[in-house]
Amino acid sequence: MIELTDLRARISHVKDDLSQQVSVLSDLDAVEAFRIEFLGRKGKISELFKLLGQIDPSERATAGKLLNDLKQEASALFAARKDELDSAALDEQIARERIDLTLPGVYHPLGHKHLLTQVQQEIESIFLRMGFDVASGPEIEDEYHNFEALNIPADHPARDDWDTFYIDDTTLLRPHTSPVQIRVMEQTKPPVRIICPGRCYRRDTQDATHSPVFHQIELLWVEEGLSLANLKYVLELFIHEFFGEGYEMRLSGDFFPFTEPSVQVHMRAPGAKDWLEIMGAGMVDPAVLKNVGYDPEEVTGFAFGLGIERMAMLRYGIDDIRLFLGNDLRFITQF
Ligand code: FA5
């Protein structure tokens, strides 16, 4: 048998324990451990409940009430401490996540299109508005499309004008965009009105106006009744659209096996002393029209091949072609 006074003493002991421990609980894990230690199935309070059977039946109701009070008190203490810790954690989280709107933002620099891409797209848009389509062809070409079909047979000295990188005996890196003329005409019946922008490769020695990798835009218009006057008109329209006022254009005689007559076009920027060659052009040679199955008695055409780098140099006063591929951000970010 256990005396009620004995039980009271034990309850008071557990209470002391409780009040001491609760104040030092510093996190939710500790609170849970505390709860199990006192209120769990094998906890200190449950152990006291087990003593009820040993209490004199006349005092059992009082003892039960004392134990229930203790249990409630312990539960309340546990819940209160848990609330305190929860709200402290929330306060801490709010403080930690506070956004300081006065701090400078994180700066992500935005890239932009390279000047050559900008110029290429601008030229494309001018010709699209004039009614030309944009075509493309492979950078790795065969000799037939790059030379033979353009009226430059194997032993022709004009092949030397395109100092070409060969991959094997008959495959090469195209030195100009003119083979695309052939590819388009092979696939299309006249009339044909296309431009073709693209990268070209030549074994040219690098200097201020030559690069072994550069870009051209090819133009081809084949239809009935076209003459050199139409070519000159299209050129003037284009040059005026692209450069605006004050730029001079000069046509002079030249030779290309795939055009007859052939011309070279030079431009001069306002106030500049020197002329810069920007393109080769001419009336499509009847032999080329025959090679693609067109009848030169029915249709005529004109074509040109324009250097994109040279156009950008003229418009923006860039004096060295090497700057385009130099990856110097001080240059690139200017445009
Ligand atoms: C040709 O490539 C001819 N296919 C152009 C043509 C097309 C003529 C259609 C007639 C009809 P040319 O080799 O002159 O021609 O080159 C044309 C332009 O490409 C030059 O005026 C120049 O602006 C540019 N160019 C040529 N080689 C280089 C180079 N190494 N670096 C930069 N630009 C170049």
String of DSSP letters for 87-118: HHHHHHHHHHT---TTSPPPP-------HHHH
C-alpha 216 – ligand 1 centre gap (Å):
7
pLDDT at 23 over 80: no
From the alpha carbon of 310, which atom of ligand 1 is closest? 23
pLDDT band at 101 (very low <50, low <70, confident <90, very high): confident
- Residues 179, 291: Cα–Cα separation, whole Å: 12
Closest ligand 1 atom, residue 161 Cα: 13
Q: What is the pLDDT of residue 286?
A: 98
Q: Are 300 and 230 in contact (CB under 8 A)?
A: no
pLDDT band at 197 (very low <50, low <70, confident <90, very high): very high
Spacing, Cα 224 to ligand 1 middle (Å): 27
Instruction: Give the strands of the sheet with 133-134, arranged side by side.
Output: 133-134, 192-201, 213-223, 300-307, 276-284, 259-268, 248-256
Q: Which residues of 210-231 are buried (b: 16+ CB within 10 A; e: fewer)?
A: ebeebbbbbbbbbeeebeeebb
Residue 79 CB-half CA count within 13 A: 6
Residues near 216 by beta carbon (within 8 Å), at least 6 away in sequence:
176, 177, 197, 198, 200, 305, 306, 307, 308
Q: Are 149 and 292 in contact (CB under 8 A)?
A: yes
For residues 241-245, give the mean pLDDT: 91
For residue 137 the two structure tokens come to: 């062809």
Distances (CA, A) of 30 to 61, 71, 84, 89, 90: 33, 19, 13, 14, 18
Q: How much is the pTM?
A: 0.71
- Exposed (0-12), middle (13-18) or buried (19+): which is 233, by Cβ within 10 Å? exposed
Q: Nearest to residue 308, comparing CAs of 295, 321, 317?
A: 321
Ligand 1: distance of its center to the CA of 11 in Å? 103
Residue 15's SS3 state is helix
Whether 303 is in the pocket of ligand 1, judged by its Cβ within 6 Å, is yes
Which atom from ligand 1 is nearest to the alpha carbon of 321?
32
Q: Is the CB of 302 under 6 A from ligand 1?
A: no
Ligand 1: centre distance to CA 303 (Å): 12
Condensed to tens digits (0 to 9), the pLDDT of residues 39-52 reads 888 888 988 888 88
**Beta carbon of 211 within 6 Å of any ligand 1 atom:** yes
DSSP label at residue 204: P
> What is the rounded distance in angstroms from the CA atom of residue 239 to the CA atom of residue 314?
11
Q: Which of the listed residues 221, 252, 256 should we mutate to test ligand 1's pocket, taking the one with most ligand atoms within 8 A of CB? A: 256
What spacing in Å lies between the alpha carbon of 186 and ligand 1's midpoint? Answer: 23
pLDDT (0 to 100) of residue 159: 80
pLDDT, tens digit (0-9, with 9 covering 90-100), for 106-156: 888 889 999 999 999 999 999 999 999 999 999 999 999 999 999 998 888
* Cβ(204) – ligand 1 distance below 6 Å: yes
Look at residue 9 and tell me whether its pLDDT is greater than 80: yes
Question: For ligand 1, atom 14, which residue shows the shortest CA distance?
Answer: 280
Tokens 């030079």: give the residue: 266
Q: How far is the CA of 71 from the centre of ligand 1 (A)?
A: 96
- Indicate the helix (H) or strand (E) that contains 254: strand 248-256
Q: Does the beta carbon of 124 lie inside 6 Å of ligand 1?
A: no
Place of tokens 């199955």: 293
* Burial of 266 per CB tally in 10 Å (0-12, 13-18, 19+): middle
C-alpha to C-alpha distances, 307 to 173, 201, 235, 281, nearest whole angstrom: 17, 12, 14, 12
Distance 305 CA to ligand 1 centre (A): 6
Q: How far is the CA of 246 from the centre of ligand 1 (A)?
A: 24
Q: Which atom of ligand 1 is closest in space to residue 181's alpha carbon? A: 9
- Give the three-class secondary structure for 263: strand
